[in-house]
Amino acid sequence: MRDHLKTVLDIFYPLQCGGCGDHGSTLCGDCIGSFRAVDEGSSCPVCGRWIGKNVVCGGCLEENRGFQKGHYGFYFEGRLRSAMHAFKFNGRKDIGRRLVSLSKEKILSFADTFDCIVPVPVTEKRLKERGFNQSFIIAEEIAKIAGREIGHSVLLKKKDTKDQYSLTREERKKNVRGVFAIRDRARIKDKRILLVDDLFTTGYTAREAAVTLLRSHAGEVGFFALARTPS
Ligand SMILES: [Zn+2]
Ligand SMILES: [Zn+2]
């Protein structure tokens, strides 16, 4: 009986909410209501960590993040985490696009700080496996909202990295060293770049990508991640 009902629901409401699995929408109102947006006014302007005010945090004073300024959509927790998982691993691009659109006001607030959007790339191998690069989908939506161009294939990922989750801090740093290369220098020379990724955790991937861009004479590099870890 249950299976039967599920089949009927699948036919009439094929779209399932990425957060809870309910039928009828990309993301339901309950799930959207549960997402916690990162409040820039009370967070570090570089890494987005909550510190109660908008000043550079101790961690960012100690360690160079590579990029000068960071913007973050939501905290990576609860139903947002499920939605991000469905976006990245189940091919639900609609969820990624919807999540970006929920950050529209935030994106518009810093749209005049960049000229060109560069998504953090995945390797050719990963692209074939997954069929798409999640950061590119995010970049496309930001491009629409902000009216800026995307630097297609500016940045290249040369080799696959091990899953960062399984590694220690030091191993994580080493894991990403030298993995990016620039394919089109002229495209970024003296430009203000917005580097875009789906998730900010340790920040090592973003730093490596930002440093690679700056070494190739990007004017400045800002960063946007759809989500960041809560702590
Ligand atoms: Zn839901
Ligand atoms: Zn910080």
Point out the ligand nearest to the CA of residue 95: 1
| pLDDT tens string 57-94 | 999 999 999 999 999 999 999 999 999 999 999 999 99
Residues in the chain: 231
Kindly tell me the sign of the dihedral angle through the C-alpha atoms of 143, 148, 154, 155: negative
Strands (E), the chain: 69-75, 116-119, 149-150, 155-157, 180-182, 192-200, 220-228
pTM, entire model: 0.92
| pLDDT tens string 106-165 | 999 999 999 999 999 999 998 999 899 999 999 999 999 999 999 988 999 998 877 666
If DSSP codes are grouped into helix, strand and coil, which group holds residue 157?
strand
pLDDT at 164: 65
Kindly tell me the sign of the dihedral angle through the C-alpha atoms of 86, 151, 129, 162: negative
Q: 211: CA distance to ligand 1 center in Å?
A: 38
pLDDT at 9: 67
| pLDDT tens string 162-187 | 766 677 878 888 888 999 999 988 99
Neighbours of ion ligand 1 (CB under 5 A): 17, 19-20, 22, 28, 31
